[in-house]
Amino acid sequence: MSEAERALRAPLNLGPMPTRRAMFTLDEGHCRTDVQTIFRLVAEVDAWPRHLAHYRWVTTTDRTRDGGGIVEMAANRPFGPLNWPTWWKSYMSVDHDAPEVRFRHIGGITTGMDVSWSFKKVPEGTHVTLLHVWDGPSWPLIRTVAAVAVIGPVFIHGIASRTMAGLIAAAERGVTAEHS
């Protein structure tokens, strides 16, 4: 282990994905590459804006040894010719054995949201699953309705489905995390 690697913080332990949340948004896709290719591309979040036109920026701070840390992300949710800018801050952990990339939102309107990218070898490639679970924003009375009726299906799914499709397309074009 190098001096630089020893200086990094220990990986964040986000625990298992919560199962009892009001909002459950699931995106799934098939990638015609091996598991490690798409997993590494997903885990290299700093490169996402180079592959994804809807991502404005990604900044990783306080990096951990597993490649995670604290990440700030900004993306646009397109509505026809208009874009709605979004921003959030998350803890990020990378489990190279599972493999899985996890996030827990700690800033922005989606604070408290848990996210999991998981990957499973299937014939002719990899099945990619992107799960978002959340109880909603801290708005009295309307938090669950806002999460389930608007934020989840319109914003979360709208951005997540584009993110998954874009990263799968990049992996299938032969883009790698090391050469992105």
Is-contact 52 167, C-beta < 8 A? yes
Is-contact 170 51, C-beta < 8 A? yes
Q: List the domain range (segments joined by +) for residue 145.
A: 3-9+21-179
Any domain includes 142: yes
The domain tally of the chain equals: 1
Any domain includes 16: no
Any domain includes 94: yes
Is-contact 109 98, C-beta < 8 A? no
Any domain includes 52: yes
Any domain includes 54: yes
Any domain includes 172: yes
Any domain includes 14: no
Any domain includes 15: no
What is the separation, in whole angstroms, between the first and last Cα of the chain? 25
CATH of the domain at 36: 3.30.530.20
Q: What is the pLDDT along the chain (180 residues), one digit of tens a residue?
A: 566 666 678 989 999 999 899 999 999 999 999 999 999 999 999 999 999 999 999 999 889 999 999 999 999 998 888 888 999 999 999 999 999 999 999 999 999 999 999 999 999 999 999 999 999 999 989 999 999 999 999 999 999 999 999 999 999 998 766 555
pTM of the model: 0.92
